[in-house]
Amino acid sequence: MNCIVIDDEATARMIISQLCSHVPSLNVLEEFPNAMQAIKYLNQKEVDLIFLDIHMPDFTGFDFIETLKNPPKIILTTSDPNFAIQAFEYDCIVDYLVKPITLERFQKAIDKAESKQNKPATTASNAEKVESTSGNDLYVNIDRRLIKIDIPSIYLVEAKGDYIQVKTEDKNYTVHSTLKKIEDKLPDSLFLKVHRSYIINIQKIIDIEDNSVLIKKDVIPVSRSNRPELMKRLNLL
Amino acid sequence: MEQPNQTYINSLSGDDKAFKQKLIDVIKKEFPEEKQVYFDNYHAKNYKLAADNVHKLKHKISILGLEKGYEVAVAYENNLLEGSANQKDLFEAILTNITKYLEEI
Yes or no: say if A127 and A101 are a contact pair by the CB < 8 Å rule.
Answer: no
Q: For each of chain B's 105 residues, which pLDDT tens digit applies?
A: 899 999 999 999 998 999 999 999 999 999 999 999 999 999 999 999 999 999 999 999 999 999 999 999 999 999 999 999 999 999 999 999 999 999 998
**Residues A6 and A100 both lie in one domain:** yes
Q: How far is CA A87 from the centre of its chain?
A: 6
The CATH number assigned to the domain holding A179 equals: 2.40.50.1020
Give residue A89's pLDDT band: very low, low, confident or very high (50, 70, 90).
Answer: confident
Cα separation, A87 vs A90, whole angstroms: 6
A29 in the same domain as A83: yes
Domain membership flag for residue A122: no
Whether the CB-CB separation of A3 and A50 falls below 8 Å is answered with: yes
Cβ-Cβ contacts under 8 Å, A14 against chain B: 22-23, 26
Q: What mean pLDDT value characterizes chain A?
A: 84
Q: Is the pLDDT reported for residue A129 higher than 50?
A: no
User: What CATH number has the domain bearing residue A55?
Assistant: 3.40.50.2300
How many angstroms away from the CA of A234 is the closest CA of chain B?
A: 32
Least-confidence region, from A11-20, A147-156, B40-49: A147-156
A89 and A142 in a single domain? The answer is no
DSSP state of A25: T
Chain-chain contact of A103 with B30 (C-beta, under 8 angstroms)? no
Does residue A141 contact residue A84 with C-beta atoms inside 8 Å?
A: yes
CA atoms of A138 and A221, how far apart (whole Å) = 25
Q: Is B55 on the interface with A (CB under 8 A)?
A: yes
pLDDT of res. B9 = 97
Contact state of B30 with A163 under an 8 Å Cβ cutoff:
no
Range of the domain at B83: 32-104
Instruction: Kindly determine whether residue B62 and residue A99, on different chains, have CB atoms separated by under 8 Å.
Output: yes
| Together in a domain, A142 and A216 | yes
> A101-137 burial by CB neighbour count: b if 16+ within 10 A, else e?
beeeebeebbeebbebeeeebebbeeeeeeebeeeee
Taking contacts as CB-CB distances below 8 angstroms, the residues of chain B near A107 are none
Q: Are both A168 and A223 inside the same structural domain? A: yes
A124 assigned to some structural domain: no
Whether A188 maps to a domain, the answer reads yes
Selected for mutation to probe chain A from B8, B12, B62, B86 (highest A CB count within 10 Å) is: B12
Q: Could you tell me if A16 and A59 lie in one domain?
A: yes
Task: Flag whether A193 is in a domain.
Answer: yes
CB proximity B22 to A under 8 Å: yes
pLDDT of residue A85: 66
Instruction: Look at B38 and A150; give whichever has higher pLDDT.
Output: B38
Q: Is the pLDDT of residue A121 over 60?
A: no
Q: Give A152-189 pLDDT, tens digit per residue.
A: 899 999 998 888 999 998 888 888 888 988 988 888 88
Q: How confident is the model at residue A135 (pLDDT cuts 50, 70, 90)?
A: low
The pair phi, psi for residue B47, each rounded to 5°, is -65, -35
Number of domains chain A contains: 2
Structural domain including A70 reads 2-115
Is the ipTM higher than 0.90? The answer is yes
Q: Indicate the pLDDT class of residue A127, thresholds 50, 70 and 90.
A: very low
Contacts with A8 from chain B: Cβ below 8 Å:
56
